[in-house]
Amino acid sequence: MFITRAAIVLLSMGAAAAAAPSQAETIQVSIDRLVYLPAEIEAKVGDEVEWINRDALVHTATVEGGADVLLPANKTGRLVLQEAGSFDYICRYHPNMKGRITVRP
């Protein structure tokens, strides 16, 4: 009886452990004096990027022909990554600001 119960507990834990790796994460990128930090990040599909704009300037995180996240002065903006690939992004207002997100499946 005792053994059976223990086996059930173990099974439950096993199921929980198997589900854990797919949990989405939030990756933070700060912006300080017109620089994305870190400039390059790696993530997986379903993860979220949070840009923390520490400048008193409005920025964006814009992928040409794709996502366009507005980042108001001293505020944050978020984006859920929905497809795998490597994406270069810039700030529309200051195109000398450059970043890259590599998204694994």
Partner 1 sequence: MTIKLTTAAAAIALLFSTGGALGNDKPTDPQIAHIAYTAGVLDVEAAKQAIATSKNKTVVEFAESMLRDHESVNKQALDLVKKLNVTPEDNDTSKSLSQAAEAKRQELAKLKGGEFDKAYIEHEVAYHKQVNGALETLLIPSAQNAELKSLLETGLKLFQGHQQHAEHVAAALK
Interface residues with partner 1 (CB under 8 A) are 33-35, 56-58, 73, 91-97
CB of 35 to partner 1, least distance (A): 8
CB of 62 to partner 1, least distance (A): 12
Nearer to partner 1, 37 or 58 (CB): 58
Nearer to partner 1, 7 or 34 (CB): 34
DSSP state letters, 42-102: EEETT-EEEEEE-SSS-EEEE-TTS-EEEE-TT-EEEEE--S-EEEEEE-SS-TT-EEEEE
